[in-house]
A and B are shown apart, each in its own frame.
Chain A
Amino acid sequence: MASWCDRCGGALADGDHTRCTAARALEPPRFCPDCRRRMKVQVLPSGWSASCAVHGRTGPDQPRSATGR
């Protein structure tokens, strides 16, 4: 269960993230939802990928890797 907003990095339990959710339709995530670390994000013409130093790589159609790679 994610604890952090992947757009603003704030705690999901605190405050309203409705605007973040709406904005994410046109933005990739920037913060790891598990640990709120800023992720390395590469936007490509038809997709994106994001990588947390601890929790690994994810993309729009890609589950987070258990190996962190």
Chain B
Amino acid sequence: MRDVLDHAHDRVLDHGTGLDEAGVLAVLRLPDDRLPAALQLAHEVRMRWCGPEVEVEGIVSLKTGGCPEDCHFCSQSGLFSSPVRSVWLDIPSLVAAAEQTAATGATEFCIVAAVRGPDDKLMAQLREGVAAIREAVDIQVAASLGMLTQAQVDELVAIGVHRYNHNLETARSYFPQVVTTHTWQERWDTLSMVRASGMEVCCGGILGLGESPAQRAEFACQLAALDPHEVPLNFLNPRPGTPLGDRAPVPARDALRAIAAYRLALPRTILRYAGGREITLGDLGTRDGLLGGVNAVIVGNYLTTLGRPAADDLALLDELQLPVKALSATL
């Protein structure tokens, strides 16, 4: 009897068309004994429609903590009793971070700030920082600064930011359970402006916030409708002091099912391992995901937590014979 993977083979692998919401949900509900087949198909889809290369990125927090928003998963909100304090990174340290990232072979360096949206001080810091990085380091610069005005979008384009990250975080139907200080639509509006500007759109979210499998499928298809250049896939790393601080991490098999399902919903998109993979999947699961649809990684540390050493991920890519995407291929 044919199941969703047979259907996906025809639709996604052969024609490059993503699964619809019902199809994604069916993948998310596959029994454990079908998981290897789902990952294998997702890998074949990735190889066919994206190729074997893996895009490597480093990220750094330019402005940490003290955020006025209440994203319930985030240790940087100033509204929770998180131990994370507000701190700004100076420009020489920012450039050094970009240099460290480039030394790993990464082609992307994303500058992140914990804000609702950038104010004049942050825009000035970013302007100076991007200029200093472009002077010193051969790497593509991305940014993640929250919600933007049209004037700010235009300025980011002008200073050479090539990709903008703004995560929708979760399904539209579940978002009000996770964030109350702004709406999913406000995030969508920023993404629409970014897309119209010509910057590449980077938009993903976090799995494990308490959403249902149906809402995971809903979210995958909302991302597909956005058609971003990149989808970073985070798994909740429960942070002390946040409203979700006591939630259990996503079970590894559910995380792998989600990786396969999101690849089958987004056959041509960069699907990036982002935060939480270490506690959710460990070393073995990281390998399974890279052979199950993921074609990009954040290497090194995250914004407030630590990751695997970059050398470990690069050694794994080498072992799996997955080449790191070269900078020349991104320009």
Interface, chain A (partner B; CB < 8 A): 7-9, 25-28, 30-31, 38-48
Contact = CB atoms under 8 A, between A and B. Distances in A.
Contact of A30 (B58, B61, B83, B306): B83
8 contacts: A28-B305, A40-B86, A42-B87, A43-B305, A44-B100, A45-B301, A46-B300, A47-B301
Contacts of A25: 306
Given A30-B84, A38-B85, A45 B306 contact: no
Interface string B88-112: 0100010011001100100000000
B306 A41 contact: no
Contact of B304 (A38, A41, A46): A41
Contact of A40 (B87, B278, B307): B87
Interface of B: 58-61, 64, 83-87, 89, 93, 96-97, 100-101, 104, 240, 278-279, 299-307, 309-310
Given A43-B305, A44-B97, A45-B58, 12 more contacts: A26-B278, A26-B307, A27-B304, A30-B84, A31-B83, A41-B304, A43-B61, A43-B303, A44-B96, A44-B301, A45-B59, A46-B301
Contacts of B301: 43-48
A46 B279 CA distance: 19
Interface of B is mostly: loop
B310 to A, nearest CB: 7
A24 B286 CA distance: 20
Nearest to A8: B240
Contacts of A41: 64, 84-85, 87, 304
Contacts of B96: 44
Contacts of A30: 83-84
Nearest to A47: B301
Given A44-B93, A44-B97, A28 B306 contact: yes
Contact of B100 (A7, A45, A48): A45
